Every structure is written in structure tokens, then in C-alpha cells.
């Protein structure tokens, strides 16, 4: 594996490896079957189409998004640079022949050119050390006409309503105690990593869209996350419902242009 920014990447990898066993216990990571899985599946279907495709999932972590992709019938290559995370994902999907897990750097995948119909990641872009390099690589491995689908958010700043929600959670936790698994649980390490990242002061669509365009992608869309949030809130306890208000999150979809299909036909049909 070619790992540039070695020290920073080692710290990021170590941070996630330490969280691998309890990651699914932190609200917002696990995707329970039922309405939440359906909402995530619908978001993926809307972005890349319903037909089974060859998908590269970047930074698969414990394999929760992998679960969504497999539920839709896709053939998945799921990569992560944390062996500990991959162990959890492999165990979760043991015996499923439609998924291949690989230890690799998402910024330099080393996958062959023009191989995938879709490249998908959740909660990776904010932690990239070289976003331009990563986007160029994802463009390279996509087939012409292929789709990039990013689920992410600005984890550096609470939204105005998020500030109130965070205050309410702090008050609530005086009575019910702290949640040992929530993302703040290793907050010092997290803060130390954040300040060294290109998006350490916040990943917003306003910053990401120009980079995606510069990498050559077209037809950039920002679909709503409404159905996912609604499904997450439906069964969540009060503290977790409040947490859904903390940060500004987004979905970004973009296409690698297909030179053989121009003008009105440039966009692949989404079924
Ligand atoms: C917040 S977790 C998200 C996991 C998963 N995508 C999800 O949404 O459940 C971040 C994951 O990104 C992985 N990661 C971070 N930077 C990476 C890189 N450059 N290459 C591969 N994996 C990376 C970490 O090991 C970790 O599993």
C-alpha cells in the first residue's frame, strides 16, 4: 500500500482501528434493517440506478454501507486501510460472494482504470489528507458515465440549531449519564487529527463541489437527506434525535462524462 502523509494517515488509521469494535454502537453509524435500511437503499438507488452494478465502496469501515449495497444486488469491492475495521466488515458479510474486501488507501486505490459503474463513500471525504488526489483517482477508476456518490457532512461546526441541541444533550446527560460510544468519546485524539486535515475546519458542499468539478466530474447534484433523517429519528431515543440536528450533512452525486454520449444523452438513465 502506498501511503503518503505517513504520520497523519497512521494516526487516522490507528484512531479508526481503536474504534472498530464499538463503532456500530455509536448512533448514526449502524444502519438497522427496516425503514432506515430502506431509506439508505433508496438514496443509493436514486443516485446510481436500480440495476445491479460494479461498485467500489471506499472506506467501508464495519461494512454498514456495504450492507445497503449488497441489499440492492450490487457486486461490491469494499476497501479500507484499517485491518481492524475490515475484520469486523468481513465477519459481518462472511459467505457473501458478491463482496470482496481489500486493504487499500482510498486516496490511491490501485484499482484498474475505468472499472466501476459507481464509486461510493460515507463519512470519508472529511478525513482525506489529499482530496484532489483522491478525486482524480476515483474519476480514473470509474467507467465513462459512471457515478460518484458521497455521503458526508461538516463535523467541525455545530449548526445554529445544533448548538441548542448539543446543550440539551449535555443537560440530559447529567441525568442519564454519558454515552461511551458516541463520536466525542475519543475527542482529544479526534481534535488533534482534525486540525491537521485539509477539511479540518469543516467540509461543506461549497468547498467540495469546485474540487469535484476540477477533477472532471459533471452533472453534480445534491439530493435531499430528508428520508434518511426521518427514518433515523423514528426509532431513536431523545438524545439521538437531538444528535440528528447537530451537523450539516449532505449527499453529493456526480458523473464521469461519457464522450460517446453527449448533450441530452450525456446523463445515464436512473431507473
Ligand atoms: C467514519 S468511518 C466510516 C466508515 C463507513 N464508511 C461508514 O460510513 O460506516 C471512517 C472510515 O474511513 C477509513 N479511512 C479513512 N481514511 C482512509 C483512507 N485514506 N483509505 C482507506 N480508508 C480510510 C477508516 O479506517 C474508517 O473505517
Instruction: Specify whether the CB–CB gap between 93 and 153 falls below 8 A.
Output: no
The band of 118, judged by pLDDT with boundaries at 50, 70 and 90, is very high
Domains, the chain, ordered by start: 6-257 (3.40.50.150)
111 in contact with ligand 1, CB cutoff 6 A: no
Instruction: Specify whether the CB–CB gap between 87 and 114 falls below 8 A.
Output: no
Q: What is the pTM of this model?
A: 0.92
Task: For residues 67 and 211, give the distance between their C-alpha atoms in angstroms, rounded to a whole number.
Answer: 29
First-last CA distance in the chain: 37
Which one has a higher pLDDT value, 30 or 263?
30
81 in contact with ligand 1, CB cutoff 6 A: yes
Predicted local confidence at residue 48, as pLDDT: 98
Q: Per-residue pLDDT averaged across 44-58, rounded?
A: 97
From the alpha carbon of 3, which atom of ligand 1 is closest?
19
Predicted local confidence at residue 235, as pLDDT: 86
pLDDT in tens, 175-229: 888 887 776 645 788 888 999 999 999 999 999 999 999 999 999 999 999 999 9
Q: How far is the CA of 59 from the centre of ligand 1 (A)?
A: 4
The CA-CA-CA angle for residues 249, 202, 134, to 5°, reads 85
Predicted local confidence at residue 76, as pLDDT: 98
CA neighbor of 130 nearest in space, from 43, 267, 2: 2
pLDDT at 265 over 50: no
The band of 139, judged by pLDDT with boundaries at 50, 70 and 90, is very high
Locate all alpha helices (DSSP H) within the chain, ordered by sequence: 6-19, 35-48, 64-71, 83-92, 131-141, 160-176, 187-194, 205-214, 226-235, 238-243
Q: Per-residue pLDDT averaged across 72-95, rounded?
A: 98
Q: Per-residue pLDDT averaged across 136-160, rounded?
A: 96
**CA distances, 199 to each of 80, 137, 186, 195 (Å):** 20, 18, 19, 9
The band of 269, judged by pLDDT with boundaries at 50, 70 and 90, is very low
Q: Per-residue pLDDT averaged across 144-166, rounded?
A: 95
147 in contact with ligand 1, CB cutoff 6 A: no
64 in contact with ligand 1, CB cutoff 6 A: yes
Predicted local confidence at residue 4, as pLDDT: 59
Locate all alpha helices (DSSP H) within 72-204, ordered by sequence: 83-92, 131-141, 160-176, 187-194
The band of 264, judged by pLDDT with boundaries at 50, 70 and 90, is very low
Q: How far is the CA of 26 from the centre of ligand 1 (A)?
A: 15
- Ligand 1, atom 13, lies closest to the CA of 59
The band of 261, judged by pLDDT with boundaries at 50, 70 and 90, is confident
Question: Helix or strand or coil: residue 104?
Answer: coil
Q: How far is the CA of 264 from the centre of ligand 1 (A)?
A: 36
pLDDT at 260 over 90: no
Amino acid at each position: 500500500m502506498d501511503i503518503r502523509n505517513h504520520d497523519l494517515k497512521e494516526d487516522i488509521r490507528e484512531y479508526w482501528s481503536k474504534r472498530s469494535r464499538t463503532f456500530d454502537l455509536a448512533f448514526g453509524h449502524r444502519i438497522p434493517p427496516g425503514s432506515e435500511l430502506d431509506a439508505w437503499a433508496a438514496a443509493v438507488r436514486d443516485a446510481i440506478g436500480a440495476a445491479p452494478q460494479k461498485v467500489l465502496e471506499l472506506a467501508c469501515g464495519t461494512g454498514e454501507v456495504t450492507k445497503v449495497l449488497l441489499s440492492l444486488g450490487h457486486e461490491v469491492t469494499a476497501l479500507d486501510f484499517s485491518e481492524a475495521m475490515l475484520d469486523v466488515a468481513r465477519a459481518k458479510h462472511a459467505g457473501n460472494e458478491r463482496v470482496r474486501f481489500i486493504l487499500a488507501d482510498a486516496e490511491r486505490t490501485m484499482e484498474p482504470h475505468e472499472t466501476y459503474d459507481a464509486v461510493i463513500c460515507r463519512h470519508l471525504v472529511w478525513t482525506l489528507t489529499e482530496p484532489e488526489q483522491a478525486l482524480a483517482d476515483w474519476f480514473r477508476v470509474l467507467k465513462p458515465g459512471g457515478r460518484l456518490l458521497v455521503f458526508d457532512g461538516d463535523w467541525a461546526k455545530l449548526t445554529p440549531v445544533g448548538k441548542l441541541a448539543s446543550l440539551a444533550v449535555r443537560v440530559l446527560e447529567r441525568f442519564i449519564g454519558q454515552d461511551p460510544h458516541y463520536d466525542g468519546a475519543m475527542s482529544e485524539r479526534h481534535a488533534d487529527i482534525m486540525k491537521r486535515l485539509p477539511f479540518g475546519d469543516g467540509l461543506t458542499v461549497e468547498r467540495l463541489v469546485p474540487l469535484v468539478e476540477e477533477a472532471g466530474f459533471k452533472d453534480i447534484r445534491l439530493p435531499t437527506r430528508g428520508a434518511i433523517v426521518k427514518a433515523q429519528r423514528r426509532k431513536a431515543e431523545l438524545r439521538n434525535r437531538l444528535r440528528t440536528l447537530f451537523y450539516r450533512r449532505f449527499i453529493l452525486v456526480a458523473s464521469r462524462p461519457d464522450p460517446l454520449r453527449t448533450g441530452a444523452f450525456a446523463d445515464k438513465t436512473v431507473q
